[in-house]
Amino acid sequence: MQTLANKHIKKIILSIIVILCLIAAALTGCTNNASAGTDSQSAATGNSETTQTQKGPGTMSGAPYEEEDDTEDDGEDTATPIETISTDGEHTLTGTINGQVKVTASNVTLILQDVTINSPDGAAILGDDGKTTQELTVKLVGNNTVTAGAKHGIQGKDNLTITGSGSVNIKAEKDGIHAGNKLTIEDGTIVVEESYEGMEAPEIIVKGGNTTLFASDDGVNAATDEAGVTPSFEMTGGTLTLYSGSDGIDSNGTLSITGGTALLFINAPRDGEVFDTQQVGTTLPALDVDQSLAANSKIEILDSSGSVIWSGTNVNEATSFGLVVPGLKEGASYQINANGSSIGSFTAITSVQSMMGGGMRGGGGNWGGTQNGTDDFTPPSGGTPSDDWGGQTMPNGGGRRGNGGGGYAPGTTPEDSNTL
């Protein structure tokens, strides 16, 4: 009996040990699976940040391809302001402000004088009077820094003007500078270091100053959701340099450059145009170059005599770029060098339009573009398919000449064109 009892006890003990081992193994497996799930999620998040997040001057990655929305959904800015300006007139901000500055008066000049504004939950400077049309002027004095962990860097409810002799560096989750109606850049040194879009408003006017934009989407976006309003971009002076992951200057209406210097670099392998305008835009003589550039390339523009008429260096890599610089003449051909080597000869143009509007970019060669699958397309407005078109956009959105091919004619689709 004792022997049988001992055996019975041993079986019970063995069973308990087996059960405990199974429980321990199950718990260990759950822990490993939970860890694996966390690691996988972190890796996915890391990849998303690598391709979509602006990392600062000189290291910006292009945004992944997606269907473009004219204006992002801003939603309501729910940040609690740490300082509210409720009376008209001039107001000066200095020192360090940790939180949002909200302007609720209707006509305010906000002087930024060596101030640092950090707003983790909303726009750093938010204009919102909630009443009549608001006029907000931001005057730059000294060196200023504006950071918005959510929403826009500097946002005007209606009309926003930036002026002054000082500078401002901006980092924002959304737009670096945003206005609900009209955005005017008069003067000052502006660097939008990180943003989704560098500047956005229905009407954008650049009159002066030195503006540099780094954006994961469009550098400049003139757009609105309001019916009956035609967005516009106008540049009459100053210097505009941008590095974007989609379009350079995107206007859902009109585009005009009559003064100043524009250096536009886009890094958009699958999507994006240097000049993206729904209507035919006009510009000072410009070079629209469908060639890639490595970061920190020394760029030179040479005229027909071999003289360098302009030189500069790009901070970020680019899949294509546009240059509006002094000395270019409409219809003239220019050689462009990158780090001492020629990347091709390009013709200065004075009209631009989005590919979706009809005109396609061409680099040189014979007449590009056909109509209804034939090769005998007659150019509109009495033009002739000769070298006289020299890389310019055809009237009414026709294609430019390109290397043995080019754009497709107005009213046709890419499938109707013999060569793209």
Secondary structure class of 361 (helix, strand, coil): coil
CA–CA gap between residue 249 and residue 220 (Å, rounded): 5
- What residue ranges do the domains of the chain occupy? 81-357, 367-420
CA–CA gap between residue 112 and residue 127 (Å, rounded): 15
> CA-CA-CA-CA torsion for 200, 205, 206, 211, nearest 10 degrees?
-10
User: Strands, DSSP E only, in 173-238?
Assistant: 177-179, 182-185, 189-194, 199-201, 203-206, 210-215, 220-222, 232-235
Write the DSSP string, 247-302. Answer: -SEEESSEEEE-SSEEEEEE--SSS--SEEESSPEEEEEEEEE---B-TTPEEEEE
CA–CA gap between residue 174 and residue 191 (Å, rounded): 15
Lowest model confidence (mean pLDDT) among 23-37, 176-190, 320-334, 376-390: 376-390
Secondary structure class of 238 (helix, strand, coil): coil
Residues present in the chain in total: 420
Whether residue 138 has pLDDT greater than 60? yes
> CA-CA-CA-CA torsion for 141, 249, 258, 176, nearest 10 degrees?
-10
Burial of 274 (0-12, 13-18, 19+ CB in 10 A): buried
Whether residue 163 has pLDDT greater than 70? yes
The set of residues, in sequence order, having a beta carbon less than 8 Å from that of 103 and lying 6+ positions away, is 84, 85, 110, 125, 126, 127, 128, 129, 134, 136
Segment 330-341 mean pLDDT: 98
What pLDDT, on the 0 to 100 scale, is given for residue 23?
A: 55
- Confidence at 74, pLDDT banded by 50, 70, 90: low
Torsion sign over Cα 340, 346, 349, 355:
negative
Secondary structure class of 44 (helix, strand, coil): helix
Whether residue 32 has pLDDT greater than 60? no
Cα angle for residues 308, 324, 396 (degrees, 5° grid): 125
Write the DSSP string, 47-83. Answer: HHHHHHS--STT-PPPPPP-PPPSS---------EEE
What pLDDT, on the 0 to 100 scale, is given for residue 390?
A: 34
CA–CA gap between residue 336 and residue 190 (Å, rounded): 28
CA–CA gap between residue 196 and residue 63 (Å, rounded): 9
Q: What residue type is assigned to position 153 of the chain?
A: G
Give residue-wise pLDDT tens across range 108-117: 999 999 999 9
Segment 198-225 mean pLDDT: 97
Give residue-wise pLDDT tens across range 247-291: 999 999 999 999 999 999 999 987 799 999 989 999 999 999 999
Give residue-wise pLDDT tens across range 14-25: 556 545 655 555
